[in-house]
């Protein structure tokens, strides 16, 4: 029996970037005279910009300022990109999944230039089968579109498992019919992730690695 395919989140799961995104969003909103505290921006990380701006500032404000704020966040995050590093266990997880025969898609709605930087940072191009970016979806998490796009790139396998770090990962995976193995490295608590329906929660990827056969990732 083939092991389940893996739909693998990137920001906050494989790379330590959530707090840089939170700060970039805070600064981007400030440029447009909208006060969004960093902690509130962080609570929305995991959504794409199409969902995040109206969630934090309202639909009307998004209609008037959203595109400009999203463009500013891209520039501001780019200035912080040099501080983003792989999370402990990220490379080891990719290598283990490949050795075990899992088909793997990096499920991201990041802009293509960000995703390419992450692929290089992780040395992941030869370890995964496919990846998605914002170009592949119209709606981001918590909608399931990015997960479905990833599964399509893998040929729609019968069994798939999500690995992610945010409540939005869990919600999107649930909507797509996938169980989620979650980690705490994005800043969401275990109780929050479990309340959304995460099948298993680990402190980080290094804790997941030795327990992988005790999760939905077992062959």
Q: Does this chain's domain 5-17+85-214 share its CATH topology with 18-83? A: no
**b/e 14-53 (16+ beta carbons within 10 angstroms → b):** bbbbbbbbbbbbbbbbeeeebebeeeebbbbbbbbbbbbb
DSSP one-letter code for 30: H
Task: State residue 2's pLDDT score.
Answer: 86
Which pLDDT tens digit goes with each residue over 145-159? Answer: 999 999 999 999 999
Judge: domain 18-83, CATH 1.10.150.
yes
Residue-by-residue DSSP string for 45-63: BTB-HHHHHHHHH-HHHHH
Below-50 pLDDT ranges, the chain: none
The closest of 205, 160, 173, 171 to 186, measured between CA atoms, is 205
CATH number of 5-17+85-214: 3.40.50.1000
Q: Which pLDDT does position 219 carry in this prediction?
A: 76
Say how many residues make up the chain: 219
pTM: 0.95
pLDDT of residue 24: 98
The pLDDT tens digits of the residues spanning 23-60 come to 999 999 999 999 999 999 999 999 999 999 999 999 99
Spacing of C-alpha 70 from chain mean position: 17
Per the listing, tokens 């912080």 go with 80
Place of tokens 């991201």: 108
Q: Which of 76, 62, 67, 66 is nearest to 17 (CA)?
A: 76
User: Domains of the chain: which residue ranges?
Assistant: 5-17+85-214, 18-83
């Amino acid at each position: 029996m083939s092991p389940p395919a893996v739909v693998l989140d990137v920001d906050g799961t494989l790379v330590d970037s959530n707090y840089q995104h939170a700060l970039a969003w805070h600064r981007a909103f400030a440029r447009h005279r909208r006060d969004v505290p960093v902690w509130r921006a962080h609570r929305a990380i995991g959504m794409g910009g199409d969902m995040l701006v109206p969630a934090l500032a309202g639909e009307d404000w998004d209609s008037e300022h959203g595109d400009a704020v999203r463009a500013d966040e891209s520039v501001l995050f780019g200035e912080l990109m040099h501080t983003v590093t792989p999370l402990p266990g990220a490379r080891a997880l990719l290598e283990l999944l490949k050795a075990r025969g899992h088909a793997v898609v990096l499920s991201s709605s990041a802009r293509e230039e960000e995703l390419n930087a992450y692929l290089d940072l992780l040395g992941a191009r030869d370890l995964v089968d496919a990846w998605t970016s914002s170009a592949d979806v119209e709606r981001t998490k918590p909608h399931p579109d990015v997960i479905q796009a990833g599964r399509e790139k893998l040929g729609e396998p019968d069994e798939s498992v999500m690995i992610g770090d945010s409540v939005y990962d869990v919600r999107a995976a649930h909507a797509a019919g996938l169980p989620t193995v979650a980690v705490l490295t994005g800043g969401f608590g275990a109780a929050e992730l479990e309340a959304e329906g995460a099948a298993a929660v680990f402190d980080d990827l290094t804790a997941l690695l030795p327990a992988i056969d005790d999760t939905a990732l077992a062959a």
